[in-house]
Structure 1
């Protein structure tokens, strides 16, 4: 599920763009939920849930950022630091379950949030 840039969303400032290292993640508490925020080499910012559904731990901001060809297109990814599942950072889709089922019957895909950079401030959309 993605929180879309809708008129009802409230944009919440979480940090300055300069606080995020390229191809690294950082965790933030947004609207009461832990969110993993990633700065890409092109300067774009993407946000997914911090909770890893396979390990049941809040660790995805510590994952390895990379890319993978999906249907002929290179997409930004993060690999969980726990069991190495790979997720598409744009959609949250699990691209590689690495032979493991999600914990407690959780869905394998990640929730995503709309993210933007305004000036030097990174903002995440939170439903109103």
Structure 2
């Protein structure tokens, strides 16, 4: 295993192949639901944010549509369509309902999430 993955306390949450490009999945990380997204713009990138959408009161962010608003890569929550920045977790329409963001990376064919 890659040494820096062990040092940083990263957790493998799924195989990269388990996530269809430009979609998300829900994973359990440290007892919390995390929405993990695989964005492919010619190169694969992964992002992880909280899965709970306070605007709707449901854990559905991982089921949202991935896109962009200007330079921001976002996911639109499937219920009220609020946009969440995949890098920061900020809810663009209602910043008071922003979610946490997590470090995410691809290594050894897996998606790793770190606090």
Report the Cα offset of residue 64 of structure 1. 0.8
- TM-score w.r.t. the length of structure 2 is 0.87
Structure 2 counterpart of 1:45: 46
Tell me which of the two structures has the higher relative contact order, counting C-alpha pairs closer than 8 angstroms and 6 or more residues apart.
1
Q: Is structure 2 residue 90 aligned with structure 1 residue 93? A: yes
Which residue of structure 2 lines up, in the alignment, with residue 116 of structure 1?
A: 105
Q: What's the Cα RMSD here?
A: 1.7
Moved over 4 A (4+): none
Q: Distance in 1 between matches of 2:80 and 2:13?
A: 28
Flag structure 1 segments of 5+ consecutive residues without an equivalent: 1-6
Matched, 1:34 2:33: yes
The correspondence for 1:77, drawn from 71, 74, 77, is: 74
Question: Does 1:13 pair with 2:12?
Answer: yes
Give ranges in structure 2 of 5+ residues lacking alignment. Answer: 1-5
Offset of residue 8 of structure 1: 7.6
- Corresponding pairs, count: 108
CA drift of 1:121 comes to 1.0
> 1:77-98 deviations in whole A, cap 9, x for unaligned?
000101110111111111124x
Cα deviations across residues 27-71 of structure 1 (Å, max 9, x unaligned)?
0011100000000013100000010010110000001110011xx
For 2:9 and 2:108, how far apart are their aligned partners in 1? 17
